[in-house]
Amino acid sequence: MYRRRLRNPRQEANDVCWIEMSTHGKRYFNILKNNNPDEYYDMLMEIVKEMRSIPILIMNNGWRYIYSLVPSDTGKLRANLLQSLRPENSIIPRPYPRSINDIHLRIGLFTTIKYAKYVEKFKTSSLSHKHGKKSGSERVYRGRESPHLVLHDPKAKAGYMDKIRNKLKKTAIQETRRMLNNLAIIWGWDKKEVRSLFVMKNYGFHYPSLKVKII
């Protein structure tokens, strides 16, 4: 699987999507590999095909949410946030999986820019929301090159990180449900049986599971 490579290793990603194989799923596929290698590989390929479409939609929606909610006068912050959603900073299944360990998807929204925490605390009342005229005189620290800056953005919202993260989590939930439904149709399984093969972490996904019988 791909490893998340961060410019700043101390910066932890805030996951918006995290899917991996459950203990039951690993057991099922290990037995299937011994009994029917062809079916084992075909099923892994079908999972990977469905799973690899999720990051594309999260990336597309992330671009829209970041550029609509993050203040425009924040230097490289928008680009840095969008970069965090790219494949090189995520864990994505290989196109041709080598084993069940490749069935792992993890995407995080994070930033490595130091002044981001100050922009996050900026008050909505201090941003421009009327005919391009700034309201208030709040200032934000941005570093040595430009110590202070009055943000000026008619569409920016305060607390943008939580807003963007929650929107992306909703996208992840919707796409995960679509993946499970598609796999259930392809395999002719009950949706709950498909659900039992996976673990969805940290983004509020709830779906009852019914463990598929291991023969």
φ, ψ dihedrals at 77, nearest 5°: -60, -45
Instruction: Answer with the residue of higher pLDDT: 195 or 124.
Output: 195
Residue-range definition of the domain harbouring residue 64: 14-112+159-200
Task: Give the pair of three-digit tokens for residue 136.
Answer: 């208030």
Least confident of 16-30, 71-85, 86-100: 71-85
The two beta strands, 104-109 and 198-200, are unpaired
The separation between CA 201 and the C-alpha centre of its own chain, rounded to angstroms, equals 11
How many domains, the chain? 1
pTM for the whole structure: 0.80
Decide: 94 and 102 in contact? Cβ < 8 Å: yes
User: In angstroms, what CA-CA distances link 215 with 28, 45, 135, 212?
Assistant: 9, 21, 68, 9
Q: Note whether residue 153 is domain-resident.
A: no
Q: Note whether residue 25 is domain-resident.
A: yes
Looking at residue 186, what is its pLDDT?
A: 96
Q: Euclidean distance between the first and final Cα of the chain, in Å?
A: 29
Other C-beta atoms lying within 10 Å of the C-beta of residue 154:
14
Q: pLDDT tens-digit profile of 135-177? A: 444 455 444 444 455 666 767 777 888 899 999 999 999 999 9
Q: Note whether residue 55 is domain-resident.
A: yes
Q: Note whether residue 122 is domain-resident.
A: no
Q: Note whether residue 149 is domain-resident.
A: no
Q: Note whether residue 135 is domain-resident.
A: no
Looking at residue 118, what is its pLDDT?
A: 75
DSSP SS3 for 214: coil
Classify the C-alpha dihedral 31-37-41-43 as positive or negative: negative
Q: Note whether residue 6 is domain-resident.
A: no
Q: Note whether residue 213 is domain-resident.
A: no
- Residue 125, pLDDT > 80, answer no
